[in-house]
Chain A
Amino acid sequence: MILRYRIIRSKSKNDLHQNKANRVRLDFVRYFQYVKECIFPLSANLAASETDSLAAENQPALLSATNLTCIREERLLFDQLTLEINAGDIVQIEGPNGSGKTSLLRILAGLSQPYNGDVFYKNQLITQSREEFHQNLLYLGHLAGVKDEMTAQENLNFNLTLHGLSIHSSELEETLTLANLTGFEDSLASHLSAGQHRRIALARLYKSTADIWILDEPFTAIDKQGVNSLEQLFKAHIKQGGCVILTTHQDLLTFSPSQVKKITLDYIGE
Chain B
Amino acid sequence: MSVANLSYRAVFALVLKRDLTIAMRHKDDIINPLLFFVIVVTLFPLGIGPEAQTLSRIAPGIIWVAALLSTLLSLDRLFKSDHVDGSLEQMLLSPQPVFILVLAKIVAHWLITGLPLILIAPLLAVLLHLNEQSYGALILTLLLGTPVLSLLGAIGVALTVGIKKGGVLLSLLVLPLYIPVLIFATSAIDTAALGLPYSGQLAIIAALFFGSLTLAPFAVGAALKVSTN
* A interface, CB within 8 angstroms of B: 31, 34-35, 38, 41, 109-113, 131-132, 134-135, 137, 139, 141-150, 154, 158-159, 161-168, 171, 188, 207, 209
Determine the chain B residues whose CB is within 8 A of the CB of A207 once the complex forms.
1
Determine the chain B residues whose CB is within 8 A of the CB of A147 once the complex forms.
18, 22, 85, 87
Identify B99's interface contact among A38, A112, A135, A188, CB under 8 A: A38
Task: Tell me the bound Cα distance from A167 to B1 in angstroms.
Answer: 5
Q: Are B94 and A141 interface neighbours, CB within 8 A?
A: no
Q: Are B90 and A145 interface neighbours, CB within 8 A?
A: yes
Q: Are A111 and B89 interface neighbours, CB within 8 A?
A: yes
Q: Is B91 an interface residue (CB 8 A)?
A: yes
Q: Is B4 an interface residue (CB 8 A)?
A: yes
Q: Are A141 and B97 interface neighbours, CB within 8 A?
A: no
Q: Are B3 and A209 interface neighbours, CB within 8 A?
A: yes
Q: Which 8 A-B pairs have the closest CB atoms?
A: A143-B86, A145-B86, A145-B90, A134-B95, A135-B95, A149-B22, A145-B87, A149-B25
Q: Are B93 and A161 interface neighbours, CB within 8 A?
A: no
**What are 24 A-B pairs with beta-carbon distances under 8 A?**
A34-B222, A38-B97, A38-B218, A112-B228, A142-B86, A143-B89, A144-B85, A145-B85, A145-B86, A146-B85, A146-B86, A147-B22, A147-B87, A148-B85, A149-B22, A158-B18, A159-B90, A163-B94, A164-B94, A165-B1, A165-B4, A166-B1, A166-B4, A188-B25
Task: Tell me the bound Cα distance from A144 to B85 in angstroms.
Answer: 7
* B interface, CB within 8 angstroms of A: 1-6, 11, 14-15, 18, 21-22, 25-26, 84-87, 89-97, 99, 218, 221-222, 225, 228-229
Task: Tell me the bound Cα distance from A161 to B5 in angstroms.
Answer: 10
Q: Give, as a whole number of angstroms, the nearest-CB distance from A139 to chain B.
A: 5
Task: Tell me the bound Cα distance from A146 to B2 in angstroms.
Answer: 23
Q: Are B14 and A161 interface neighbours, CB within 8 A?
A: yes
Q: Give, as a whole number of angstroms, the nearest-CB distance from B13 to chain A.
A: 10
Task: Tell me the bound Cα distance from A188 to B86 in angstroms.
Answer: 17
Task: Tell me the bound Cα distance from A235 to B77 in angstroms.
Answer: 40
Task: Tell me the bound Cα distance from A63 to B2 in angstroms.
Answer: 25
Q: Give, as a whole number of angstroms, the nearest-CB distance from B158 to chain A.
A: 14
Shortest Cβ distance from B24 into A: residue: A149
Known A38-B218, A161-B6; judge A141-B86 contact (CB<8 A): yes
Q: Are A149 and B26 interface neighbours, CB within 8 A?
A: yes
Determine the chain A residues whose CB is within 8 A of the CB of B22 once the complex forms.
147, 149-150
Determine the chain B residues whose CB is within 8 A of the CB of A149 once the complex forms.
21-22, 25-26
Known A38-B99, A149-B26, A150-B18; judge A134-B3 contact (CB<8 A): no
Shortest Cβ distance from A134 into B: residue: B95
Highest count of chain B CB atoms <10 Å: which of A134, A145, A162:
A162
Determine the chain A residues whose CB is within 8 A of the CB of B1 once the complex forms.
165-168, 171, 207
Q: Give, as a whole number of angstroms, the nearest-CB distance from B223 to chain A.
A: 10
